[in-house]
Amino acid sequence: MSVFNAYMTLSGAVDATLTRDEPLSRRTSYRIGGPAALLARVRDYAALVRTIEVLTREGVRWVILGKGTNVLADDAGYDGCVIVLEGEFSRINVSEEDRSITAGAGAVLARVVNEALRARLSGLEPCVGIPGTLGGALSMNAGTRREWIGRRVRDLVVYRPGEGMHRYAADEIEWGYRQTTLPTSEIILEATLSLMPAEKDAIAADMDARLRRRRQSQPLSLPSCGSVFRNPPERSVGQLIESCGLAGTSEGGAQISDVHANFIVNRGGATSADVLALITRAHDAVMDRYGIDLSPEVKFLGFGG
């Protein structure tokens, strides 16, 4: 594996900004993580394709990263290349006549939601207040337990490394709570979302109500990755963890929030080891008491994998 060769080959040859040893603490909402051997901020499709071709040839592993809002990065860093989609991947086009929004995977989800509101288009209210990019939201099917963004997808464009672009129609993808049948080997590039016309005041009122509930029930003032575990059917992970007496439990600079026990927050100086210790403690406590094997919602970057 030669990160150096990949860096030298790509530097100045593609529409991308390349950085060596970029701290992942700058790229994740947890504010945790050591350096990525290489960071590539690609701005167009040709740059993305060429970057992956070179990385593959040089034997350098790679991962796509949005805003890092549901990611725990290893303190030891990541020995591959982190690819961030920018430029043309951040475009947002609204069609009021067609009642749709087409946006790139790198577009900030909050901007997409706001554009829908501005155009008096309803359907993205469940995504209000959710941080990150559209690509990240689609890959994890963001939303609530019963309302999610996948239901709004009309079609989706992905890149299949080594093959090229592919367009999925809505009926070719299955969506569920925090899951989708999209192969993890494919890179989401763009999506068209079908929305519905509605009164702007009604959309805004719904969004405001949802934001108030989030602020009241989630510890938004401290760095976190959002929900750590997926909710089991008809159960609340936060309530399960709290009933095990773990709300407020600390490990180093990390703490299981006493506002919502399915959030582990960085109170200052937390390490990935601190967070992992609390994840393990919460998982094992719920397993011992209820026999429920909690599934992580947080994604892990590094950790030898």
**Considering Cα of 291, then 295, then 301, then 305, what sign does the dihedral take?**
positive
Name, in order, each residue with C-beta under 8 angstroms of 232's C-beta and a sequence gap of 6 or more.
292, 294
Closest CA to 178 of 110, 243, 125, 228: 228
Residue of 58, 147, 186, 297 marked catalytic: 297
- Residues 44 and 181: their CA atoms lie apart, in Å, by 26
The answer to whether residue 227 is catalytic is yes
Residue of 31, 43, 50, 178 marked catalytic: 178
Residue of 227, 242, 257, 272 marked catalytic: 227
Let me know: does 100 contact 115? Beta carbons within 8 Å: no
- Residues 61 and 89: their CA atoms lie apart, in Å, by 22
The answer to whether residue 297 is catalytic is yes
The answer to whether residue 96 is catalytic is no
Catalytic residue numbers? 178, 227, 297
